[in-house]
Chains A and B, each alone.
Chain A
Amino acid sequence: MTDLLELAIAGLMSGLVIGLAALAVTLVFGIARFANAATGDTMTLGAYATLGGTAATGSLIAGGAIGILAGAAAGVIAYATVFRKLERRSPVAALLASIGVGFVIRAGLGLVYGHGQQVFQLPLVRPWRVWGIRIQPTDLEIAAAALATLAAVFLILHATPIGRQMRAVADDPDLARVSGIAPRRVMIALWALAGGVAAVAGCLLGIKTVVAPEMGWDMLLPAFAAAILGGIGHPVGAVVAGVLLGIAQETATPWVGFTYKIALSFAVLLLVLLVRPRGLFGRIEGVR
Chain B
Amino acid sequence: MILSLEAVTGGYGEVDILNGIDLALEAGSILTVAGTNGAGKSTLAKAVVGLLPRVGGRIRLDGRDIVGLPAEERARAGIGYVPQVANVFPSLTIEENLAVVEGVADRRGRIGALLAMFPALAERRRFRAQSLSGGERQQLAFARALMTAPRVMVLDEPTAALAPSRVAESFERIATLARTGIAVLLIEQRARQALAISHRGAILDGGKVALAGPAADLLADETAARLFLGAG
Contacts and interface: CB of A to CB of B under 8 A. Distances in A.
Interface residues of A, dominant DSSP: helix
Nearest to B71: A177
Contacts of A161: 99-100
B83 interface: yes
Given A164-B99, A165-B100, A167-B92, A174 B51 contact: yes
A183 interface: yes
Nearest to B81: A178
B41 interface: no
Nearest to B79: A178
B49 interface: yes
B144 interface: yes
Contacts of A172: 86, 89
A180 B49 contact: no
B110 to A, nearest CB: 12
A164 B72 contact: no
Given A178-B49, A180-B72, 9 more contacts: A167-B89, A167-B92, A167-B96, A174-B51, A180-B75, A181-B100, A181-B101, A181-B102, A182-B70
Interface in B64-78: 70-72, 74-76
Interface residues of B, number: 28
Interface in A141-163: 161
B72 A171 contact: no
Interface of B: 49-51, 70-72, 74-76, 81, 83, 86-92, 96, 99-104, 144, 147-148
B89 A171 contact: yes
Contact of B100 (A164, A182, A183, A285): A164
Contacts of A183: 72
Interface residues of A, number: 19
A176 to B, nearest CB: 8
B51 A178 contact: yes
Nearest to B87: A175
Contacts of A170: 91
A168 interface: yes
B180 to A, nearest CB: 20
A175 B72 contact: no
6 contacts: A165-B102, A171-B91, A174-B51, A175-B83, A180-B76, A180-B103
